[in-house]
Amino acid sequence: MARKPIHLEMAGMLTPRERMWQAIRQKRTFTCMELQEACGRPMLNLYSIQDYLLALARAGYLKQLNKQGQDARAKFDQVRFELVKDSFEAPRLDKQGRQVEQGTATLAMWRAMKALKEFDYKDVQKAATLGKVCEVSLQTAKSYVTALARAGYFRTVRESAGPMPARYRLVRDTGAHPPAITRRKAVFDRNVGEFTWQQTEQEVVDGLE
């Protein structure tokens, strides 16, 4: 491993996990505090950094260079870590260091739209479902496709008519990350870092009662 790895800049807005991972790949060896510093602003919670580092160590991505003291939390900041298993994407792990599959369905639908070119929500559901590994319900696919349609990602190829659902073509492929539907039912696209659709005040009022 003589060659210095190329610094890859991830596109779009990064999640805390991705910010940590990018800093880890840059520094190679570090302590928890050094990493917090390297992650920049807004400052990340030290406990979330610790949790992620321990998970990465359990999964074999990091190696502890020295042992930690008796009082785990207090002495944790003295532990040095080294990156031993590289990966481009920030590993998604739970505290035990197991792979987390959450969010796969949305990503699968977003990618299916790009590959299918012209689709209705049923096509998206079929293409995004992969047996037991990734199950997408018709309802999920329908609400995701409808939300993106409202947010202006598609050109309508055929309006819906009776039982035939509307057919769309993806015209605004903003990037690798699937646009997210937030709890406020807004569409947020972190590829470009903006809300691409939000309810108007009137629509919120109309929904009351």
* Cα separation, 148 vs 106, whole angstroms: 12
> Is the four-CA dihedral 73, 77, 80, 86 of positive or negative sign?
positive
Contacts 24+ apart (CB under 8 A), 30-35: 30/80, 30/81, 31/77, 31/78, 31/79, 31/80, 31/81, 32/76, 32/77, 32/79, 33/77
The interface with another protein within residues 148-187 (CB under 8 A) comprises 163-164, 173, 175-177
Region of 44 on the Ramachandran plot (φ > 0 left; ψ -120 to 50 alpha; else beta): beta
Draw the binding track, 90-129, toward another protein (x: CB under 8 A; -: no contact): -----------x--x--xx--xx-xxxx-------xxxxx
Question: CB count, 10 Å around CB of 11?
Answer: 13
Draw the binding track, 128-147, toward another protein (x: CB under 8 A; -: no contact): xxxxxxx---x---------
Task: Please report how close the Cβ of residue 2 comes to another protein at its closest, in angstroms.
Answer: 15
Based on CB atoms, which residue is closest to another protein, 98 or 117? 117
The interface with another protein within residues 7-46 (CB under 8 A) comprises 8-12
Task: Please report how close the Cβ of residue 123 comes to another protein at its closest, in angstroms.
Answer: 8
Single-letter residue type at 120 = D
Based on CB atoms, which residue is closest to another protein, 40 or 175? 175
The residues binding another protein (CB under 8 A) are 5-6, 8-12, 86-89, 101, 104, 107-108, 111-112, 114-117, 125-134, 138, 163-164, 173, 175-177
